Amino acid sequence: MTKPQRTEAIVIDSFDYGESDRIVTLYTRIYGKIKGMAKGARRSRKRFQNTLESFSHVMVEVKGRGKGLYWLNYSVLLEGFEGIMEEVERFTYGNLLLEMVHTLTGEGYPVPGLFHLLLSYTRELSRTHRAGALTLLYAFRLLSILGYGPHLSRCVRCGRPSEPLFHLREGGLVCRDCGEGAVRVSPGLVRSIKVGLAFPLRAIPRITVSGDQMEEGFGLLEGFIEYHLQRRLKTFRFIEQMGGRRDAGKDLSGNHP
Partner 1 sequence: MEGYARPVKKLVEELSKLPGIGEKTALRLTFHILSSPKEDMEELARTILDAKESIRLCSICFNLSDSDPCGICSNGHRRERRICIVENVNDLLAFERSGFRGRYHVLHGVLAPMKGIGPEDLRIGELVDRVKREEVDEVIIATNPDTAGEATAIYISKLLKPMGVRVTRIAFGVPMGSDIEYMDELTLNKAIEGRREV
Residue 88 in contact with partner 1, rule: CB under 8 A: yes
Q: What minimum distance in Å lies between the beta carbon of 56 and partner 1?
A: 8
> What are the φ and ψ backbone dihedral angles of 84, each rounded to 5 degrees?
-65, -35
Q: Does 68 bind partner 1 (CB under 8 A)?
A: no
CA 1 to chain centre: 28
Q: Residue 5, exposed/middle/buried by CB under 10 A (0-12, 13-18, 19+)? A: middle
Which SS3 state, helix, strand or coil, does residue 169 take? coil
For partner 1, the closer of residues 8 and 13 by Cβ is 13
Contact string 93-122 vs partner 1 (x = CB under 8 A): --xx-xx--x--------------------
The side-by-side arrangement of strands in the sheet containing 183-184 is: 172-174, 165-167, 183-184
The one-letter code for the residue type at 211 is G
Select 45 or 206, whichever has its Cβ closest to partner 1.
45
Residue (55 or 115) nearer to partner 1, CB: 55
Among 53, 61, 215, 251, binds partner 1 (CB under 8 A): 53
Tell me how far apart the alpha carbons of residues 9 and 56 are, in angstroms, rounded to a whole number.
Answer: 8
The binding site for partner 1 (CB under 8 A) comprises 13, 18-19, 45-46, 49-51, 53-55, 77, 80, 82, 84-88, 91-92, 95-96, 98-99, 102, 234-235, 237-242, 253-254, 256-257
